[in-house]
Amino acid sequence: MGIMGLYLKKKKNAWNGAKMYGKICTVIIDVGTFALLLIPNISYSIANIIILVMMLFMCYSWIRYIGFHLSILREK
């Protein structure tokens, strides 16, 4: 995402801020990380579920950003 953002800035002069799905992903990663750090006796199954949810949101955000960058490349 970072490389594509730099490419779009240089070639297409398109600089866009974070989208809502990226912000939601960041909040979920922060909350999940704090939960894993602050709850000392969390079971492995709950920890794995929290990590899985964080991974799913990261993948969702990544796919949405790929689509966003490709749409910018196609229109300009």
Angle at 12 between CA 8 and CA 18, to 5 degrees: 45
Local structure of residue 40 (DSSP, 8 states): T
> Considering the entire predicted model, what is its pTM?
0.78
The DSSP code for 18 is: -
pLDDT on residue 75: 77
Q: Of 35, 38, 63, 69, which is closest to residue 49 (Cα–Cα)?
A: 35
**How far is C-alpha 23 from the geometric centre of its chain's CA atoms?**
7
The tens place of each residue's pLDDT in the chain, 76 residues long, gives 677 777 777 766 666 677 888 899 999 999 999 999 999 899 999 999 999 999 999 999 999 988 888 887 887 5
Helix, strand or coil, per DSSP, at residue 39: coil
The tokens for 58 are 């990261």
